[in-house]
Every structure is written in C-alpha cells, then in structure tokens.
Structure 1
Amino acid sequence: MPILTKEQFENLAKFDNNPCISIFLPTQRIGKDVLEEKDRIQLKSQWKKASEKLKEMGVEREKIEKIGEPLKNLLEDRDFWRHQSDGLAIFLADGFMEKFTLPVNFEAFTYIADHFYLKPLVPMFSGDTRFYLLSLQMDNVELYEANLYSIGKVEIKDLVPARLEDRVGYDYEEKSLQYRSQNPATGDTIMHGQGAAERDRKNEFLRFFRAVDKGLHEILKDEKVPLVVACQDYLFPIYQEANTYKKLYSEPVPGNPSDYEHMLALHAAALNVLQPHFNKEKEEKMVQFREMTPGRTSTSVSEIIPAIYEGKVDTLFLQNREDIWGNYNENMASVDIQEEQSSANLSLMNLAAVKVMEQGGKVYLIENEFMPEKNSKMNAVYRY
C-alpha cells in the first residue's frame, strides 16, 4: 500500500479552514531515542508552540483544545511511537486530523494558515518512481511492487513456479551436487564436468526462467515501469535471455536475495541500483532549463507565480530547506515578497508547488548547489 497517495495529497491541498496546522517532525526508527520517546516529546513541544501561536492569533482557548484533542490521544499511543520511520507529518484543523509516517527526512517545522503546508511532501510525487522487484532464487521466487518510499509483496504463487524443481524435475539437487561445488577459500561457485553438462544446467535454468517470465506476463503485460531482478550475478544473463518484458532493467541487484536481512534491505539495494533511472528525468529537465531560449525559463518569483496561475509552468525547481514569504493577488497578478514569515503572509513556495502539481507539472526540491540558477530559490521551465 502507498504511504501517501496522490489523492490524499490533493485532498489536503483543497482543504480550506482557519486555522489549519501543519506539523513536521524528524523521527527515529530504532535506538535509544525511540526507547526514551524523544519523538513523542518533540511533538508535545511543537504543539505547545503552535497553541501559543494560535492564542496570539486570537483563537479561543476552547477551540484550540478541540483542535488538539486528537493530538492528545496520539501522544498517549505508546505503540504508535514505537513504529516510526524517518519523518512524521500531521495535519490538524477543527474536527480534522491526518497523520503520515513517512521515509522522508523532515526538519522540525510548524505552519499555521488557512491552508496546509505540503511542500515537504513533494519528493514523494517527483516523477514516476514505481517499479517491480523480482527476487529470484532456485528455491524461491517473489515479486514486489515498490516506489521510492514503500514496497509490498505481489501474490504470484498461482502464476509462477516457486522453485526450479517444479519446472525441471526433482533430480535437480543430485545434478547440482555433481556439477557444482564451492571453493573453500573464496566461497565462489565452481562448475565441474564437461561442457555438455554445463549447457544442460544452463538449459534447466533457462526453462525455469521462461516459466517465471510467462507467469509474470499476466501481471506485467500492460505495465511500463522498470522490473529490476535480484539474483546471483551468474544467473542474470540467463534470465535476460528468457525475459520478454520490455522494461527489464539492465543492471541486477547484486548478491543472493537471501543475503539481505529483510524486505526493506532488499528494497534499499534496489533503489541504489535504480538511482540513475530516477534521476534521469530531473537531469533532463535541468538541461532543458539551461538550453532553452530566453522567455521559456525564469528565475523571478514575481514572474513565475502569475505564470503558474496561467498554466504556463511545466517544471518548477525549489531550493530545499528554504522558503519565500509574501502574498499573491490573483486579480492583479501581483506578488508581494516579504522578508519574514508572519500571520499576514504565506509561503509562496508552498503555493507554487501545490498549484504546479495540481496542473500536472513537475516539482523538484533541490539543494542550493544543484539548482539550475543558484542565485534564485525558484526556477521555472515554461510550457510555451
């Protein structure tokens, strides 16, 4: 199951109330901080600051207590705090609370306005990061559907043979002992016997992999996302020969899948292999920014915000861990940029990010040194 869906993001973007409170916290998966409940204590501290800010804004004490009631219950849920990821995002309003435990490293931050602050969630929707991961062993075959932030097992037992013996017969183990052994010094597999025996062994693997590929076809036939294979290195060229899926990734996850302690470790290894694929679209957009003719790009916030509302912005680059404060008058198409955050302004970066994503554009959070134009916190590529 996805950790945060695009539909949930869109619903949060449309939510209109006053006040809306957005709280972001860095959290810990394991270790001393979890045992000492530091994440829970940190949320309690953030809510105290938010409550004081709400009082300054003139919100009545009874309303503040009502908004904070679900948070109070969450603070008392000790089991919840023992199962965290890298970040926690909480969205509160009168009669409303949503929380998301996410593998995204947030900085501690609280935002109060008549809308939610969603900019830190943008990386979860920057391009299509879906892929399939095939864990391929002679005695176990498993398929996972994943993206940058989540992974889930796909049921394939009725479609794919679970082990090689199911396809080539139960003399496999005896043959394996005859033809294969391990070098005690290196642990590497050694093939014995004549070339015919080795070809016979390869043909058995090939028959097995063709059966696997045939079963996967029922699931992958309409897909256009990468399939990355986790298997021992010597098996991958054989699987490539058997494969008919057009988006098979050219590099396998190294090592035997059984060497990985759990599914999340295998997921992390697959992400490392696929990183060039995930970066490709962003890098192409950055090259596009640098090579486009004048008028098709901009680094001026006062120009970019009105262009977004006209539907002109195809790609938006925002400097990570920074913000731009001010207001936008849609009727006048004018931008008022201010030095600091106040109760009378809003985040122009959040406004821009949400609007571009709503229009189907791309938004990337970029560290300053990698921004296409480093002298501006906001860069844009126009559609026309």
Structure 2
Amino acid sequence: MMNRVTPIPEELLRVQTSPCISIYMQTSRCYPENAQDPLRFKNLVSKAESDALKSVGKRVIAPLIERLRMLQEEKDFWNHTLEGLAIFVSPDYFKVFKLQQAVNEQAYVSDVFFIKPLIRIYQMNERFQVLALTKTEVHLFEGNRYRLDEIEMDREVPKTMIEALGTEITPPHMTIASYGGVAQGSFMRHGHSSRKDEEELDEERFFRAVDHAITERHSKPSGLPLILAALPQHQSVFRSVSRNPHLLEDGIAGDPRLLETDALRELAWKVLEPQWQRKIDGLLARFEEALSKALGSDNPFYITEAALAGNVSVLLLDQQRIYPGGIDAAAGDISFSKMTPGNEHDVLEDLAITVLGKGGEVLVLPPERMPTVSGVAAIFRHE
C-alpha cells in the first residue's frame, strides 16, 4: 500500500512571521565547479538583503542575513551539495533543502515563502527512500527513478549495532551447578542459550531500534515510501519487528554493501514502479467516477473555487502545462497574465499550494497519464 505524500513541510504552507526570505540556486557536486557556489550564494544573499532593506529596514533583516552568512562560511556544507538548493529563513524558521535537480537562481523577500519551484520538484517525481541494512550498519538513501543519493541520517538513528546497543550487547547468560556436592569442588557452567541465540537477540534489538528511529525521524516527516535493502534473513527479522507504516511489502533481497548506488536505484524503482502505476490507475478511476457524480471537475475555475473552500481532496496536474497568472483569493477567481521571460507565476502551481495548504493531495503527472485536456483534474471532498 502506498502512502499519501506531502514532502513539502507543512510550516512552509502556513503563514510565517515576516519577512520571509526564499533563495534558490544551482550547485555542483564536485570540485572545481563547486568552488564558486559560496560566492554565488553570497550574491543572492546580498540581493535579498538589498530588497529587504527597502521594505522592512536593517534592524529586522540583519539577524536573517547573519544566519545566511553563517551558512555561506560552512565549508563542509558546500562540499556536500547536490544539483540545487532551496533555503528559507524567517524570524522563527530556517530550512535548507538539498535538491536532486537544478533550479533557476532567484532570491525573494516577502510576507510568505516562495515555494512554487518545490511543487513540481516534489510532487512530480516518484520519490522514495531506501534503507540499506546489514546486521552491523545502517545507511539511508533518498531519490527517484532518475537519481538516488545517500542522505545524512538524524543523530537519533543508530548507524551501527554498537551505537545502538553499546554496553548492552547481550552477554551469555550462565548458571553454576554443582555435581558430586560442593565438597568435591566440581562445578560446570551451563548457558541458558547458545551464542547463536544471543547474536539473534542482539540483531533483533538492533533492528527494532533502527526501525523506531527511521520511522520517527525520517519516514513520518517525509511521508515517503521506504524500501528495505537487506539479505533475505535480515528482511524477515526487520519486518517482524517493524512498526513503520511507510515500509513497502516488497524489498531488495541482497547484501546492499555489494550494490553501487545506481544499481540500488534501479532495483528500488523496480519495486516501486508497479505500486506507483497502480496508485495512478486508482486515482484516475476515482476521478472518472467522481466526474460522473458531479464530485470532480476539469474546469480550472470550478477547481479554484473548490480549492479555496478546502473542498479538493486530490488535485492532478499536467507537468508540462502552464497557465500564466495566479489565484485571486479575495475574489475567489483566477487572474491570468501574459507569459514573459522570468515570469514565475502559474495558476496551476497556485492551485497546488492552495490544495496542499488545505490538507489535500497533489500529483503532477506526465501528459500521457492526464485524464483531461485542460491539464488539471480534481476530486472533491463533497458536493
């Protein structure tokens, strides 16, 4: 069973304490290309500072700029980037996204965060996580059908059995029994369980600790499907103790240490693709049924009205369709505009933000899977 995915943090969809700074930039993974990334980031921060000084003043903006300058000086951070960055900072919020695809470089200062570029990145790609597990080590990967990267795990996630159990690694339990009487001084030691039993107990405790930490620190916050890559015997033990609702029934049976990252990605996508396609098929069937009962629509104007009222359960968008303009929430209508170079305003992305903010689900589909010619389809919660 696949789970509902809203990987964009809910706090980005809520009203924030202003001012809100949003920065997007391309980055490079390798030297020497990435040597220029801090300088380009510095220029974007300077632009944000200049724009903010015009509207909110130095006293308000200075602490935010200082936090961004601190990031600029973190050399280790810039040595471990991907294809892009999205950075959001406000008086009470700071968040950095490492992106697996490039974005247009831009810096915004507003009363709300500018998250439209994240919509298509996170709602279009079939994203997932892979837990590479052995009896002694843990690694977590995240990506999609095109790219997979190891991610830094939360500090609460044990990376090794020793880190998880420490001095509590199960010692052998022994008893002392006398034979022939104490006076004879003859003693024999008897273990309650064999060494193999003790090792299996350690393994189970280790896997339970990993499962709990991954569930709480990664699966629940991201909502992403989790694919387990482990030897068959470890698959069985881990699944017997797991309480992670995002863990898929099918996994990658093999030693993950023997797999290159690209091979791991291909095997993970083979696991996920059938379920992803079944989910899309199910949503398309639901849409056709809803449409026949007046509980769905392909009309952008009707969908906008329903979205603003919180009445859209599922929104499907064509990944290649753009309607220049935006949503006028006050009027409850769409405001179209002419497409000009650098124009970032898109009605469909405004719709996506509105639906996500109201607790709905958004999926961006390739044109061949869209059930409508308008490029948008919605399933309503009720009439």
- 1:380: how far off? 1.8
Q: Tell me if the contact between 2:320 and 2:367 (Cα under 8 Å) persists in the aligned partners.
A: no
The reply to whether residue 29 of structure 1 matches residue 29 of structure 2 is yes
1:90 aligned residue: 87
- The residue aligned with 2:99 is 103
Distance in 2, Cα, partners of 1:61 & 1:219: 46
Is the contact between residue 132 and residue 256 of structure 2 (CA under 8 Å) also seen in structure 1? no
Q: Normalized against structure 1, the TM-score is what?
A: 0.61
**SS of 1:304 mapped into structure 2:** helix
2:269 aligned residue (265, 269, 272) = 272
How far residue 307 of structure 1 moved from its aligned partner, in angstroms, is 0.3
CA deviations 1:71-102 (Å, max 9, x no partner) are: 87258526142231232112366x68845141
Q: How does 1:44-193 map to 2 (within 5 A)?
A: 54=51, 59=54, 66=61, 69-70=65-66, 73=69, 76-77=72-73, 79=75, 80-91=77-88, 98-110=94-106, 111=108, 113-122=110-119, 124=122, 133=131, 135-136=133-134, 140-143=135-138, 148=143, 150=151, 152=153, 154-155=157-158, 157=162
Contact kept, 8 Å, 1:91 with 1:97, in 2: the verdict is yes
Secondary structure of the corresponding residue to residue 252 of structure 2: coil
The match for 1:284 is 282
Q: In the superposition, relative to structure 1, how do residues 257 and 300 fare at CA in structure 2: closer, same or farther (>3 Å)?
A: same
Residue 212 of structure 1 pairs with residue 208 of structure 2: no
Helix, strand or coil for the counterpart of 1:244?
Answer: helix
Per the alignment, in what secondary structure is the counterpart of residue 153 of structure 2? strand
Match of 1:191 in 2: none
Counterpart contact for 1:318–1:379, Cα < 8 Å:
yes
Structure with the bigger RCO (C-alpha within 8 Å, sep 6+) is 2
Q: Distance in 2 between matches of 1:21 and 1:292?
A: 40
How much has 1:308 moved relative to structure 2?
Answer: 0.8
CA–CA distance in structure 2, aligned partners of residues 227 and 97 of structure 1: 28
Q: Count residues in correspondence.
A: 328
Contact 1:135 1:142 in 2 (8 A): yes
Q: Give RMSD over aligned pairs.
A: 5.3
Please tell me whether the aligned partners of residues 123 and 364 of structure 2 are also in contact (alpha carbons under 8 angstroms): no
Q: Give percent identity, aligned residues only.
A: 19
1:213-247 CA distance string (max 9 Å, x none): 47645775997987754345xxx168548963587
Which moves more between the two structures, 21-30 or 338-347? Answer: 338-347
Alpha carbons of 1:351 and 1:274: their partners in 2 closer, same or farther (altered >3 Å)?
same
- In the TM superposition, residue 306 of structure 1 has moved relative to its aligned partner by 1.2
Select between 122-131 and 211-220 the one with higher mean Cα deviation. Answer: 122-131
Distance 1:337 1:87 in 2: 30
Check 1:72–1:161 CA distance in 2 against 1; reply closer, same or farther (3 A cut): closer
Cα deviation for residue 272 of structure 1 reads 3.4
> What is the rounded CA distance, in whole Å, between the counterparts of 1:355 and 1:343 in structure 2?
22
| 1:28 Cα deviation from its structure 2 partner | 1.9
Corresponding residue for residue 326 of structure 1? 325
Q: Distance in 2 between matches of 1:211 and 1:60?
A: 59
Q: Give the Å deviation of 1:126.
A: 8.6
Write the distance in 1 (CA, Å) between the matches of 2:324 and 2:110: 12
Q: What are structure 1's unaligned runs of at least 5 residues?
A: 168-203
The CA deviation at 1:362 is 0.9
Cα distance change on mapping 1:101 and 1:331 into 2, 3 Å: closer
Shift of the 347–362 alpha-carbon distance from structure 1 to 2, 3 Å rule, reads: same
Q: Distance in 1 between matches of 2:14 and 2:264?
A: 30
**Gap change, CA 1:60 and 1:8, over 3 Å in 2:** same
